[in-house]
Amino acid sequence: MSLLIAVQHRDMTKFKDEILHIDKNIDVEIWPNVKHPDRVQFAVAWDHPKQIFQNYPNLKAVSSLGAGVDHLLSDNSIPETVHITRVVAPSLTDQMSDFVLTAVLNLFRNTERYVKQQQKGHWEKHKAYSKSELTIGIMGLGELGKAAAQRLIANGFNVKGWARTQKSIAGLATYSNNELTEFLNGANVLVCLLPLTSETDGILEIDLFKKLSQPAFLINAARGEHLVEEDLIYALDTGLINHAVLDVFPKEPLPESHAFWNRDKITITPHIASVTDPKEAATLIVENYKRLLSGMELLNAIDKKKGY
Ligand code: NAP
Ligand code: GLV
């Protein structure tokens, strides 16, 4: 029995050490140098090359090394019977709440404009938005969206939220799947924290932007594929959206030649909104590995039918 770490472009020896620090008896293999493919029962994967899982005939579960599982569900070398789990961890949630709060504050207080003005030695004041003036709309009220909404509410912002199912969260006006138009009406700052599924792919598009209240802003910290990029360019050029903060892109790193880089109205961060803590993830992975071996229910298993 072994646990496989399948992550590209990163040295995973430290992560292996974190696992062995918790239990030195676990047999950990690091892709691509797998000595005994037939012994692999559990894998943890991030940015893995598609199709590698066909090499592990006794695989029973794969965990994402992050919160999202879209990279696993789009790999058809993972058999239908294999369980998919993900990382749900306090620090992941906390970092995302900080990221969203920071992005919102920067938009309200014109931080980006002042950084650019300083580079040119230019002194000019701009009106800051007051907290009562604008409403923040969070798309996705799961582990990350709910906590981000609560962080914003605790800081005095007006917040509304949208999820697939109806929610009851103190201080938050919530809307379910078929109430998207009502949710967008009155929302100024749209924050996307949805999982990437067939239903949410391309959801951030022009017709949706048109339904936002003015002035409108976008923060996408979920997946690049949620956004129709040419629609954002159009919305920024026509003033439908004032500014966008983007942490995620369909192709990462964002290519040097990409049109987003040189736009004043776009703030780019390199997929750092919330980064998995190796120690925290290792604890979860070991727990689920042991649960798998003893036939127990796995923690943070996703529903393959829903896609998250
Ligand atoms: P989660 O707990 O699974 O929550 C997903 C939320 O989205 C749920 O509230 C769900 O509604 C809602 N939802 C799903 N499909 C929907 C639809 N069709 N219409 C309306 N609402 C829908 O996910 P999470 O842990 O919060 O993570 C969200 C995503 O953040 C991840 O999938 C990942 O892509 C991204 N992420 C990004 C970073 C980063 O650094 N940028 C870091 C971590 C995660 P219900 O509650 O009704 O089911
Ligand atoms: C990061 O994007 C994650 O899904 O954890």
The CATH topology of domain 90-268 is Rossmann fold (3.40.50)
Domain extents for the chain?
2-89+276-294, 90-268
The CATH topology of domain 2-89+276-294 is Rossmann fold (3.40.50)
Extended beta strands in the chain, E state: 2-7, 28-30, 40-46, 61-64, 83-85, 135-139, 158-162, 173-175, 189-192, 217-220, 243-246, 266-268
Q: Is 256 exposed, middle or buried (0-12, 13-18, 19+ CB in 10 A)?
A: exposed
Q: Which amino acid is at 250?
A: P
The answer to whether the Cα torsion of 68, 72, 73, 79 is positive or negative is negative
pLDDT in tens, the chain (308 residues): 999 999 999 999 999 999 999 999 999 999 999 999 999 999 999 999 999 999 999 999 999 999 999 999 999 999 999 999 999 999 999 999 999 999 999 999 999 999 999 999 999 999 999 999 999 999 999 999 999 999 999 999 999 999 999 999 999 999 999 999 999 999 999 999 999 999 999 999 999 999 999 999 999 999 999 999 999 999 999 999 999 999 999 999 999 999 999 999 999 999 999 999 999 999 999 999 999 999 999 999 999 999 99
Sole residue written with tokens 């050029």: 237
- Site to substitute for ligand 1 among 164, 191, 192, 225, most atoms within 8 A of C-beta: 164
Q: Which protein residues are within 6 Å of ligand 1, measured from CB?
A: 66-68, 92, 96, 140-145, 162-165, 177, 193-197, 199-200, 221-223, 247-248, 271, 273-274, 308
- Report the run of H or E that residue 127 belongs to, with start and end: none
User: CA–CA separation, 124 vs 126, rounded Å?
Assistant: 7
Looking from the CA of 86 toward its CB, the CA atoms found within 13 Å total 17
Query: What are residue 192's DSSP bridge partners?
Result: 139, 220
Q: Judge contact between 302 and 78, C-beta under 8 A.
A: no
Q: Judge contact between 44 and 66, C-beta under 8 A.
A: no
Q: Name the residue with the closest Cα to ligand 1, atom 1.
A: 142
- Site to substitute for ligand 2 among 69, 274, 302, most atoms within 8 A of C-beta: 274
- Report the run of H or E that residue 14 belongs to, with start and end: helix 13-22
Q: Hey, do 2-89+276-294 and 90-268 end up sharing a CATH topology, with the first three levels equal?
A: yes
Closest by CA to 160, choosing from 65, 243, 83, 145, is 145
